[in-house]
A = this chain, B = another copy of it.
Amino acid sequence: MRTYLDCFPCFLSQALRAARMATDDTEQIKSVLDDVGRMLSTIPLSSSPPESGRRVYQKVSEITGNPDPYQALKQKSTREALAMYPVLKRRVEAADDRLMTAVRMAIAGNVIDFGPGKAFDLNTVVEETLRRDFAICDIRAFRDALNQAESVLFIGDNAGESVFDRLLIEELNQPVHYAVRGKPIINDVTWDHAVAAGIDQVADIISSGSDAPGVILERCSPEFRAVYERSPLIISKGQGNYEALSGRGGPVFFLLKTKCRVIADHAGVAEGDIILKKARGAEAKKGGP
């Protein structure tokens, strides 16, 4: 997905929020705004938003000297999600359609996103998402792909959300690679937060090898790309990965809650909608990674 005009004010808003997370120094925060403002003219409309997101958040870290402004929030998100896990797990186990319920759980977790800057209450969102209608629901194709596949690549999105992803991984009955970001970026999940969520107990964690908030394949490590290319079924969580992978085809299913109008428009749904969407041209390939 390319960058839209509406993304530019959003880049600046994100820079401001991240800078405030990183420091209380008003002068430094103003410097971040100055530098990101100047950066905008170097971002072409043809670039992928996570590519620019990477540069914006790098600038925040460079100026404030804080390499991981969302560290405390990521830990808190994981703690809160883990506290909910036992109850949610029982609900999945008691459901008539366990896979579908677990898919909903995974989407509910996608609200733990400090990029778009929307306030949320986790408990409320989970309940709302379990009842909400899907705007796009390619569950039949997903079941078919899952039945044919012999392994799954699950591309994680945010810290805390990984606990919800785990509920879905546990229903896939397949060997799973769980991809995390290579370095801290916004509140995206990295290796340590995936382990804290217990993902290491249910999947092989791999790094994307990149610090972009979405798996732009050209920025990922050869190891990650090899797994990606060989995977017969890929689950892509969240907006950043949708921005990076949408339009590239492949056996990808996008699982997300839309949190901005640009992405909602791109997907042909309304802001706030939940979707399980098969990538155009997506086909499950035979064989494991």
Contact = CB atoms under 8 A, between A and B. Distances in A.
Interface of A: 5-6, 8-9, 12-13, 16, 20, 26, 29-30, 33-41, 45
Given A5-B30, A30-B5, A33-B5, A41 B38 contact: yes
The 10 closest A-B pairs by CB, nearest first: A37-B40, A34-B41, A9-B13, A37-B37, A9-B12, A8-B33, A12-B12, A38-B38, A9-B9, A5-B29
SS class, residues of chain A in contact with chain B? helix
Contacts of A13: 9
A16 B8 contact: yes
5 contacts: A5-B29, A6-B16, A8-B16, A8-B37, A36-B37
A34 B34 CA distance: 12
Contacts of A39: 37
Given A37-B8, A39-B37, A45 B16 contact: no
A36 B8 CA distance: 11
A33 B8 CA distance: 7
A123 to B, nearest CB: 25
Contacts of A20: 5
Contacts of A33: 5, 8, 40-41
Contacts of A35: 41
Contact of A16 (B5, B36, B38): B5
Nearest to A27: B45
Nearest to A39: B37
B26 A16 contact: no
A285 B35 CA distance: 47
Contacts of A37: 8, 12, 36-41
A40 B29 contact: no
Contact of A45 (B5, B8, B30, B41): B30
A200 B241 CA distance: 58
Contacts of A34: 40-41
